[in-house]
Copies of this chain bind each other. A is one copy, B any other.
Amino acid sequence: MYNDYAYLLGSKRSCIRELFEYGCRRAAIVGRENIYDYSLGNPSMPAPDAVTETIRDLLQDTDPVALHGYTSAVGDAATRQAIADDLNERYAAGVRPENLFITGGAAPALTAVFRALSVTGAEVLALAPFFPEYRPFAEAAGLGFKVVAPDVPHFQIKLDALEAQLTENTVAIIVNSPNNPSGVVYTRETLTALAALLTKKANEYGHPIYIVSDEPYRELAYGGVEVPFIPTIYADTVVCYSYSKSLSLPGERIGYIYVPENATDSKNLYLAIAGAARAAGHVCAPSLWQKVIGRCTQLRPDLDAYDRNRTRLYNALTEMGYEMAQPDGAFYLFIKAPGGDANAFSERAKALDLLVVPGDDFGCPGYFRICYCVRPEMIEKSLPAFKALIG
């Protein structure tokens, strides 16, 4: 007498989580310093001091009834204005506060958008490699879920494969750039070509094909690479943003949805998203965090430590002969498994206490992911294991 699908989702552990917990058990035996755990995408940098200071200021200068009280379901008005101002300053995007809906992070944003787009027979497409939770989020919303083959070795978008998968039932494609797990940033050229294809097919089908743009890594890009703001390239884009990575607040659950004013059915889609969120138990995003964000929209992460890790690993591993796409963003490397079997590689790595995630769950067998949110000393100590595995 319980829902089978919910039970399945609750009882099936993710491969990443399994690996992480294996690492914890091994650490108890051989010592944490002897485990090279690259499994979890958990920010290793603390939240900026300005965030802590802002909380202290709010506790000091704001009436607690207002500080901890309900905001409207769509979010605090001043915070939405601050987010809009920041986006407009950076991207000249024409964002208005009433186009923004503040959520408890990107995950409930995605599920609300999927439920809002769920009509009979509707399907969404994910571009491999993709964040594994997209599948249960979409399927639980009643959407079909299809995967577009990866564009190896550069991990941009394989447009011909995408076009072959598009049908009249396609209501959205999920885009995630900078990408988890590949670390790749889609170029303006890629996104412009994507927009052209979707516009052509939307006209052909007589209905919009939205891009659902999952952007927790938007601010994590290195070496001055451009991360284009997709709504300025393709209006039928719904942005799902999170401050988890950009402000190192993954547990605090704060982010937003942006439905551009000039998206097809903008106002009604926004209302459907609000209704879907309500049906999932959204009352408002955590109010203290909304007010923190309202004062911190201009903060950017200090990327130096991640960038040093990235460069060190990229250089060392490519020199050893590992192959990977250009990791311009997020905090992942997505590496071709020597021998071609990433599960076998991961098992061999485990035997050396090196934990890497096989790409299968990301829709991309034959590759493995490492997350470089780690201590630099761990990187140095782990390099011999990488060397031994390819030697």
User: Which residue of chain B has its CB nearest to the CB of A284?
Assistant: B251
Q: A6, B115: Cβ atoms under 8 Å? A: yes
Q: Taking the complex as formed, is A69 at the interface, i.e. its CB lies under 8 A from any CB of chain B?
A: yes
Question: Can you list, as one digit per residue, whether each of A103-145 has a CB less than 8 Å from chain B (1) or not (0)?
Answer: 0110111111001111100100000000001001100100000
Q: B137, A268: Cβ atoms under 8 Å? A: no
Q: How many copies does the complex hold?
A: 2
Q: For A63, list chain B residues within 8 Å (CB).
A: 46
Size category of the A interface is 35 or more
Chain B nearest CB: distance from A86 CB in Å? 21
Chain B nearest CB: distance from A166 CB in Å? 15
Expressed in whole angstroms, the Cα–Cα distance for A318 and B273 within the complex equals 44
Q: B56, A116: Cβ atoms under 8 Å? A: no
Expressed in whole angstroms, the Cα–Cα distance for A62 and B55 within the complex equals 14
Q: A2, B117: Cβ atoms under 8 Å? A: yes
Q: B44, A65: Cβ atoms under 8 Å? A: yes
Q: B115, A272: Cβ atoms under 8 Å? A: no
Q: Taking the complex as formed, is A91 at the interface, i.e. its CB lies under 8 A from any CB of chain B?
A: no
Question: Can you list, as one digit per residue, whether each of A1-42 has a CB less than 8 Å from chain B (1) or not (0)?
Answer: 111011111110000000000000000000000000000001
Expressed in whole angstroms, the Cα–Cα distance for A91 and B103 within the complex equals 36
Q: Could you say which of B44, B64, B71, B272 contacts A2, with CB atoms under 8 Å apart?
A: B272
Name which of A274-282, A335-343, A356-364 contacts chain B. A274-282
Question: Can you list, as one digit per residue, whether each of A362-385 has a CB less than 8 Å from chain B (1) or not (0)?
Answer: 000000000000000000000000
Q: Could you say which of B10, B116, B119, B252 contacts A288, with CB atoms under 8 Å apart?
A: B252
Q: B280, A2: Cβ atoms under 8 Å? A: no
Q: Could you say which of B104, B137, B248, B281 contacts A111, with CB atoms under 8 Å apart?
A: B281
Q: Taking the complex as formed, is A249 at the interface, i.e. its CB lies under 8 A from any CB of chain B?
A: yes
Q: Taking the complex as formed, is A289 at the interface, i.e. its CB lies under 8 A from any CB of chain B?
A: yes
**With A2-B119, A281-B280 as given contacts, are A68 and B252 in contact (CB-CB < 8 Å)?**
yes
Q: B250, A281: Cβ atoms under 8 Å? A: no
User: Which residue of chain B has its CB nearest to the CB of A276?
Assistant: B6
Q: Taking the complex as formed, is A178 at the interface, i.e. its CB lies under 8 A from any CB of chain B?
A: no
Q: For A317, list chain B residues within 8 Å (CB).
A: none
Q: Could you say which of B5, B64, B133 contacts A46, with CB atoms under 8 Å apart?
A: B64
Expressed in whole angstroms, the Cα–Cα distance for A63 and B44 within the complex equals 11
Q: Taking the complex as formed, is A253 at the interface, i.e. its CB lies under 8 A from any CB of chain B?
A: yes
Q: For A118, list chain B residues within 8 Å (CB).
A: 3, 6
Q: Could you say which of B42, B69, B108 contacts A282, with CB atoms under 8 Å apart?
A: B108
Q: B69, A10: Cβ atoms under 8 Å? A: no
Interface residues, chain A, CB within 8 Å of chain B? 1-3, 5-11, 42-47, 52, 55-56, 59, 63-65, 68-71, 104-105, 107-112, 115-119, 122, 133, 136-137, 140, 171, 207-208, 248-253, 264-265, 268-290
27 cross-chain CB contacts under 8 A: A1-B171, A2-B116, A2-B119, A3-B272, A7-B275, A9-B275, A9-B276, A9-B278, A10-B270, A10-B272, A10-B276, A42-B69, A42-B70, A44-B65, A68-B249, A68-B250, A68-B252, A69-B250, A104-B253, A104-B286, A109-B281, A251-B284, A251-B290, A252-B286, A253-B283, A253-B284, A253-B285
